[in-house]
């Protein structure tokens, strides 16, 4: 009888909430089962400072997360049965303490609950494994207790026991939160899967090697001096210094001189030698990498040079078009009457090549709502790990070009969120301003 009832409840949970399937852990614990990061920081001072400056400590509190959850995802979850699981699902990765304690939905950041601790020390160092063969959707198994999972077996601490954990040092730990499937079955985050298929995985370069810098030092007061202490920077695309130079850029032309009325042919080569996954990766639904090419004549006049189309399927999403509209789903969720959508490409210069992967909602419109994504396999024009992309340009040199020095400048930019979306939702400007990644120039002579 008891079994039958349990079986019935399980079936019900499976039916109503696609997200809960992967997590046996919602509400299994209470906030009191987890220590606060500042307590760990008493001995692990440097690591605590690094973690505080990283996005890990802000994964619930930082403004864009608050806006997306409270203005879009949560209202949508309450309105549309199919996505109801995200009410807890978003929080499982962004405010795991709240999820594990069953505080769903959590109060907004200003209430100061422990959801605000984000991805804390106690999350990563109490995770002992995953329920999945290839992890995704917060499929971690967690045991909050006095034993801290770590990279060494020989550490001695007065505050806790330590256990060497194969899982802690593996990219599969990261995969539990960095890969995600939408309620419609679309793979909306695939950073781990991208890495796994890359030369970096074969070469033994882990997520930890590129995102947690290793250097000689001590991780704690009273700890041992280590040759390769793991810093907790977790720098990603929110750090312009991490993005700078991620993609090499080279520009070529046969010509040394141009004449008005002639055609100038240019070639750009873009090589992703530094990221262990595609660029952009992670929140691919809202990220753009794009290249603008300009000619600048001796009088300082600027002429945009549009990319030559290649003719592949879905290419229209990869060439900036100021007339293209998208993101209509946001208006529906926010109940804005006659919402026509926003500029798909924000302020990106017309004709610029955009390296991106468009996500489409169930009505076939491009969306930044990854939970409301049905299909994102139409085209994937991002730059893969160790991949080179070639772009060609044919410029019809206008009659008015001033004679003298002519500069061709290619600039590569990255943005977290399209500027149209950022402005509409009133996000802080750093979330949508173009971040420079690289530039290349050629100097020619105009006759
Ligand atoms: C009273 C001081 C103190 C406090 C408080 C403390 N630790 Fe430690 N911890 C240490 C020392 C000392 C070591 C040993 C470092 C070494 O020798 O490399 C250590 C080691 C570790 C390790 C490394 C394990 C390994 O395999 O190398 C982890 C992980 C860890 N602590 C996590 C935590 C977390 C999480 C908290 C908060 C819940 C915490 N510590 C609180 C002193 C402390
Ligand atoms: C996103 C997951 C994550 C978070 C959050 C996190 N850690 Fe770690 N930590 C790791 C991983 C992974 C390693 C092992 C790195 C490696 O394999 O190179 C590690 C290593 C350590 C070590 C051992 C360093 C060494 O090289 O001996 C200590 C100590 C530690 N963490 C403490 C903390 C404290 C304190 C916090 C919170 C302020 C924290 N960690 C937050 C994932 C995390
Ligand atoms: C418990 C879930 C969880 C785990 C485990 C986890 N992450 Fe994250 N990570 C997040 C979330 C959530 C964010 C997004 C923070 C934000 O922007 O709101 C994030 C963001 C990041 C970023 C982007 C930071 C930026 O500047 O944009 C990097 C890099 C990163 N994580 C690396 C790692 C690595 C490496 C590991 C494994 C050692 C790991 N993460 C494990 C949840 C997790
Ligand atoms: C070879 C080094 C390398 C490896 C390995 C690597 N990364 Fe990265 N990662 C980078 C660089 C460089 C960037 C900055 C470029 C960018 O933001 O796309 C980055 C960016 C990111 C971002 C931000 C993505 C975006 O576009 O906003 C996340 C999240 C991230 N990494 C997570 C991971 C995880 C998880 C793994 C392992 C599965 C991993 N990285 C493996 C180098 C690496
Ligand atoms: C499986 C774990 C997971 C789930 C579920 C999840 N996220 Fe995330 N989220 C992440 C990770 C990891 C990143 C960082 C990716 C990157 O840096 O590009 C992220 C990034 C974000 C960002 C971008 C932050 C920025 O500054 O660009 C927002 C906003 C966000 N998530 C909101 C949500 C909302 C709302 C939901 C629920 C509909 C949700 N997330 C569900 C793991 C998750």
- Percent of the chain at pLDDT > 70 equals 95
Q: How far is the CA of 178 from the centre of ligand 4 (A)?
A: 10
What is the spatial distance between Cα 129 and Cα 173, in angstroms, rounded to a whole number? 7
Q: How far is the CA of 432 from the centre of ligand 4 (A)?
A: 19
Flag whether pLDDT at 19 surpasses 70: no
Cβ atoms of 193 and 205 closer than 8 Å = no
Q: Which atom of ligand 2 is nearest to the CA of 168?
A: 12
The pLDDT mean for the chain works out to 94
Average pLDDT of the residues in 50-62? 98
Residue 360 structure tokens:
């489409």
pLDDT at 25: 76
Flag whether pLDDT at 305 surpasses 60: yes
CB hemisphere CA count around 27 (13 angstroms): 7
What is the spatial distance between Cα 361 and Cα 418, in angstroms, rounded to a whole number? 17
Flag whether pLDDT at 17 surpasses 90: no
User: First and final CA of the chain: distance in angstroms?
Assistant: 91
pLDDT at 134: 97
**Candidate from 93, 106, 369 with most ligand 5 atoms within 8 A of CB, to mutate:** 93
Cβ atoms of 61 and 53 closer than 8 Å = no
pLDDT at 302: 98
Average pLDDT of the residues in 75-101? 97
């Amino acid at each position: 009888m008891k079994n039958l009832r349990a079986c019935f409840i399980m079936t019900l949970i499976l039916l109503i909430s696609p997200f809960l399937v992967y997590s046996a852990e919602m509400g299994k614990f209470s906030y009191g089962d987890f220590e606060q990061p500042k307590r760990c920081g008493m001995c692990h001072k440097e690591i605590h400072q690094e973690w505080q400056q990283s996005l890990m400590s802000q994964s619930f509190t930082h403004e864009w997360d608050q806006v997306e959850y409270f203005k879009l995802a949560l209202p949508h979850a309450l309105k549309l049965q199919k996505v109801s699981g995200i009410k807890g699902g978003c929080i499982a990765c962004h405010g795991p303490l709240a999820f594990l304690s069953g505080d769903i939905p959590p109060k907004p950041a200003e209430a100061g609950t422990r959801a605000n601790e984000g991805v804390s020390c106690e999350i990563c160092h109490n995770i002992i494994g995953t329920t999945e063969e290839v992890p995704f959707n917060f499929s971690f198994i967690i045991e909050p207790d006095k034993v801290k999972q770590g990279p060494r077996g020989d550490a001695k601490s007065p505050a806790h026991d330590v256990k060497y954990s194969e899982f802690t040092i593996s990219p599969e730990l990261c995969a539990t939160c960095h890969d995600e499937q939408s309620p419609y079955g679309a793979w909306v985050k695939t950073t781990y899967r991208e890495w796994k298929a890359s030369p970096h995985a074969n070469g033994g370069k882990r997520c930890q090697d590129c995102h947690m810098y290793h250097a000689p030092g001590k991780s704690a007061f009273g700890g041992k001096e280590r040759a390769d202490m793991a810093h907790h920077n977790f720098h990603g695309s929110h750090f312009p210094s991490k993005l700078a130079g991620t993609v090499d850029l080279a520009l070529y032309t046969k010509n040394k001189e141009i004449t008005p009325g002639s055609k100038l042919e240019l070639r750009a080569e873009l090589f992703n030698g530094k990221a262990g996954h595609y660029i952009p990766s992670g929140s691919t639904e809202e990220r753009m990498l794009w290249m603008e090419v300009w000619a600048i004549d001796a009088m300082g006049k600027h002429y945009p040079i549009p990319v030559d189309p290649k003719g592949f399927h879905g290419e229209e999403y990869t060439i900036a078009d100021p007339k293209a509209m998208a993101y209509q789903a946001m208006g529906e969720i926010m109940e804005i009457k006659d919402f026509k959508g926003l500029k798909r490409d924000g302020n990106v210069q017309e004709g610029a090549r955009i390296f991106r992967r468009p996500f489409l909602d169930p009505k076939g419109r491009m969306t930044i709502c990854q939970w409301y994504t049905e299909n994102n396999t139409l085209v994937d024009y991002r730059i893969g790990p160790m991949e080179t992309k070639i772009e060609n340009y044919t410029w019809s040199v206008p009659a008015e070009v001033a004679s003298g020095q002519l500069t061709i400048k290619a600039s590569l930019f990255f943005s977290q969120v399209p500027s149209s979306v950022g402005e509409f939702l009133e996000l802080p400007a750093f979330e949508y301003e173009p971040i420079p990644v690289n530039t290349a120039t050629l100097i020619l002579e105009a006759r």
